[in-house]
Amino acid sequence: VKYTGYLEHWDEPFCTNCYSKSPGLMKLGKDITLGGLEIGLLTMKKGEVARFVFTPDYAYGRQGCPPLIPPNATVVFEVEVLDFLDSDESDAFFELTAEQQDTFPLQKVLKVADTEREFGNYLYRKRRFEGAKDRYKRAFSILGRSPSSEAEQCQIDASKLLVLLNLSLTYLKLERPAQALAYGEKALEIDQRNAKALFRCGQACLCMTEYEKARDFLVRAQHIQPFNHDINNELKKLAR
């Protein structure tokens, strides 16, 4: 969220985070302590901009917040919702015991894993690779349950594959190619013809100067996607 807070009839803000290129995530009920602001945010959509006027009961109360906020102050907040993630169900799941998690319906487990992966993707886009890696690993940690049918196994594998590919890429960004290779190979155990997994493994081997292994992975990826520029450029890099 981007926000700027003003005292009523004042032109200068008493607080703002608009000077930050990438405002940090804030959790409803925890990081947003102004009652009116939390109520207001819950009415907003992604990309929406709004102006709220909060009476003292929804702002800083009778006491205010000296020295910036006088007693009984009405305040104005200009707010923009940049993005959001609904992690409520995921948070509740990870508060359960391991035994309780095992009894959770598979569809809900897959939804929790997907939420954690989305969280990781958000952090990855912000180049916060350590945080992204931790979210991906959290998602992967709950996908090890035994399926009751072939259809369930396919669903679990599809979810695992996305997480493993993300982990492999993130470890490359963290300059830890051995781990990138390990997760890429786990992805190949699920889908041996996955071009992304082969490409990640090739990149990891190239970083580790294991050139023959790198060539093997990259050529296999090229056979599947012969016109993929990234794969072809990596092979050119290898040739040099």
User: For the chain, give me the number of helices (H) and strands (E)?
Assistant: 10, 4
49 and 126 share one domain: no
pLDDT at 219 (0 to 100): 97
pLDDT at 147 (0 to 100): 87
199 and 93 share one domain: yes
161 and 49 share one domain: no
Considering only the C-alpha atoms of the chain, give the largest distance between any 2 of them, rounded to a whole number of Å: 72
22 and 93 share one domain: no
pLDDT at 78 (0 to 100): 96
96 and 211 share one domain: yes
**CATH code for position 216:** 1.25.40.10
* Domain end marker among 47, 81, 115: 81
Which domain does 143 fall in, by range? 87-239
pLDDT at 21 (0 to 100): 76
141 and 234 share one domain: yes
CA dist., res. 209 & res. 18, Å (int): 44
10 and 53 share one domain: yes
Q: Which residues of the chain have pLDDT under 50?
A: none
113 and 232 share one domain: yes
pLDDT at 116 (0 to 100): 95
190 and 149 share one domain: yes
* Domain end marker among 52, 81, 110: 81
17 and 45 share one domain: yes
* Domain end marker among 13, 48, 81: 81
- Tokens matching residue 96: 């359960």
pLDDT at 30 (0 to 100): 85
**CATH code for position 48:** 3.10.50.40
pLDDT at 127 (0 to 100): 92
Instruction: Give the predicted TM-score (pTM) of the model.
Output: 0.81
CA–CA–CA angle 27, 162, 193 (5° rounding): 170
- The tens digit of pLDDT for each residue in 137-169 reads 999 999 988 888 999 999 999 999 999 999 999
The number of folded domains in the chain is 2
Single-letter amino acid, residue 108:
K
CA distances from 10 to 14, 55, 73 (A): 9, 15, 12
219 and 123 share one domain: yes
52 and 148 share one domain: no
- The tens digit of pLDDT for each residue in 28-53 reads 888 888 999 999 999 999 999 999 99
